[in-house]
Amino acid sequence: MAESISFEEAKQRVEELTDQLNEYSYQYYVLDNPTISDSEYDTLYQELVGLEETYPRLVQSDSPTQRVGGPALAGFEKVTHDQQMLSLDNAFSLDELKAFDERIKRLTNHSFHYICELKIDGLAISLRYENGKYIQAATRGDGTTGENVTPNVRAIKAVPLKLQEPVNLEARGEIYMPKASFKKLNEERDESGEAVFANPRNAAAGTLRNLDPKITAQRNLNIFLYSLPVIEGETIDAQSEALNRMEQLGLKTNPEKKIFQSIEEVWDFIKEIQEKRNDLAYEIDGVVIKVDELSVQDEIGYTVKAPRWAIAYKFPAEEAKTTIRGIEWSVGRTGTVTPTAVMDPVHLAGTTVQRASLHNVDLIKEKDIRLNDKVFIHKAGDIIPEVIRVDFSERPAESSPYPIPTHCPACNSELVHLEDEVALRCMNPKCPAQAAEKLVHFVSRNAMNIDGFGEKLALQVYEKELVQDVADIYGLTKEQLMQLDKIAEKSAAKLVEAVEDSKKQSLERLLFGLGIRHVGSKAARILAERFETMENLQTASKEELIAIEGLGDTIAESILAFFELEEAQQLIRKLQAYNLNMAYTGPKFSEEKAEDTFFNGKTIVLTGKLEHFSRPELKERLILLGAKVTGSVSTKTDILIAGEDAGSKMKKAQELAIHIMNEEELLDELDRKG
């Protein structure tokens, strides 16, 4: 459809869709009031994607498709703040708040109000807009100099790329990770053997400072703005007015804010918030109290590090003491074996807690946690109950260290503690706790690519006990498949044919399909090309593995641990019995051939729309000719191959005087040398 309309029609439609989708995002992420369904939004979004792909010149800077794009960053540039980003003094009691109130009254004779806002436990940020368009985001840093995190903050959907009015301003606030996102992220990291984040603030900071904006986008960060230090051409008289003005412009502010006349009213508000703290979707660690009138703020002034007209009341940390009665071990999708403490019930942060995550064996050893220990617990990010420390003064003399399990609780296979991981792992490819998910992975597009054999079907055949491991797929009959939901005779016959066809897949697909820890599709391809057969790979030494560029200790140890398992060896023998191909059949890099090519040893970047190649196709061909293909232009780049509508990469290549090759030159060189 996109190709059937004129450029002018497409231009008008792109502008309409960009405005529409940005408004829907504002309603959803800022107002928490969606006005269309997800499917309706997705339909409009895909229409915009299609138009932008057909007419790349029409892509606008505030297009929702531009939130995440481009390669990972090489590092963060420094940004000097026009106005210093100060910290706040803290108060921990009503008496300290009263002392603050008395100081304020000594410093001004004018009447004033207090405005109270929640103290979001996140990462301070400064946003800049020119003519209403998002141009920069910078962290607080030391208050004077921060880091430019513009691409990462662009990925946060609550940050508008275009304001409701074309104004120039700077807004400051707090980027945070919602409790639900924090819980999901830590579960995923725990499952994959990575260290978990201690709290949502650390998770938000780690995410924002990650060099890949795509990771920021995946982790669902959010924002509340609380300060408007600059808005050109306008006069703001009060903090409450600044908050209202930011809302009018489409910037997200926290709704839990109130104005009071006395410090006693402020204290009542603090107690009210403390009661509802656990019900909020985000973590707070206190309440910020400010003088509302900006003229009075100016009169009261600042100390070297903080405004005198504001203070942060910090909530006391909430802990509880209980006794560990047992430790349960569960097996996750990728074989991670995770411990959970079972404790005497205790009331904590508004709920009764009886179980707490211990995350991994290293944590149990580090904190020396034992059965029947008295321990202090809290909720990490007010969400996940976690053991903070042991009360060693109450430990019985006969106490002994907790015995770490050596065998999987689900299949009794020997557990592995890989050097690069904090988790114990079951490597058994036939472990029942992992089998269903392994099956889904095995049939997927990047693995054995069995046409028609999607996730739902894979789960069905496992749940109906038609298969126990991935090899059993090759024993499925048409009659068995016809027992499944919505599978008629014709469909069943096609599935059997697709399963049979997949036996011819090249070795790298089988390796990836086996789900060996750390062996992704790229590593599988390198291994298959280097060792050529499954037998050669099975007998490879660690020295041979780590000698391959791009692999290293982590992948080598994981491969060796997998092939040492009797269960893995049995599975491969079973697949061989079904006549699966166990050899690499793809194109092979030849050093001898590559030596004679123009591209050998050169670092190449691809950009723009190519007429004769898809990006993956050209990348593979260049690699076979000895080139290294990377995603971003740098001083190490030798050649930029540029198709139509080449963008910022072309500009950077020109600035660095890098050889730029168009598609016609590329074809000539390939014909001559390739």
Tally Cβ neighbours within 10 Å of residue 110.
11
What residues form DSSP beta bridges with 172?
126, 227
Rounding to the nearest 10 degrees, give the CA dihedral for residues 554, 556, 557, 558.
80
Burial 505-530 (b: 16+ CB within 10 A, else e): bbbbbbbbbbbbbbbeeebbbbbbbb
DSSP tally for the chain: helices H, then strands E: 25, 22
Cβ atoms < 10 Å from Cβ of 487? 18
Q: What are the tokens at 73?
A: 């960053």
Question: Regarding beta strands 123-130 and 114-120, do their DSSP bridges make them parallel or antiparallel, or are they unpaired?
Answer: unpaired
CA torsion sign for 89, 92, 94, 96 is: negative
A 10 A CB-CB count for 582 gives: 19
Q: Catalytic amino acids?
A: 119
Distance CA 161, CA 14 (A): 16
Distance from C-alpha of 381 to C-alpha of 204, rounded to nearest angstrom:
12
Contact call for residues 135 and 3 (beta carbons, < 8 A): no
| String of DSSP letters for 105-126 | HHH--S---EEEEEEE-SEEEE
Distances from the Cα of 601 to the Cα of 597, 626, 629, 639, 663, angstroms: 9, 6, 10, 11, 20
Residue 136's DSSP bridge partners are 128
Q: How far apart are CA 558 and CA 547, in angstroms?
A: 15
Smallest Cα–Cα separation from 329: which of 430, 436, 408?
Answer: 408
Alpha helix stretches (DSSP H) within 349-501 = 361-367, 435-443, 455-463, 478-481, 489-501
Q: Which two tokens stand for residue 84?
A: 């210093």
Burial bucket for residue 343 (CB in 10 Å: 0-12, 13-18, 19+): buried
Closest CA to 565 of 429, 472, 468, 469: 429
Residue 137 Ramachandran class (φ > 0 left, ψ -120 to 50 alpha, else beta): beta
Residue ranges of the alpha helices (H) in 26-134? 38-54, 94-107
DSSP character at residue 165: S
Contact, 458 vs 597, CB < 8 A? no
Residue 632 contacts residue 649 (beta carbons within 8 Å): yes
| Dihedral angle computed from the Cα positions of residues 47, 51, 54 and 56, in that order, rounded to the nearest 10 degrees | -130
Burial 637-648 (b: 16+ CB within 10 A, else e): bebbbbbeebee
Q: How far apart (Å, rounded) are the C-alpha atoms in residues 386 and 356?
A: 5
What's the CA gap between 655 and 634, in Å, rounded? 10
Give which of 510, 336, 328 is closest to 418, Cα–Cα. 336
Interatomic CA distance for residues 546 and 664, integer angstroms = 40
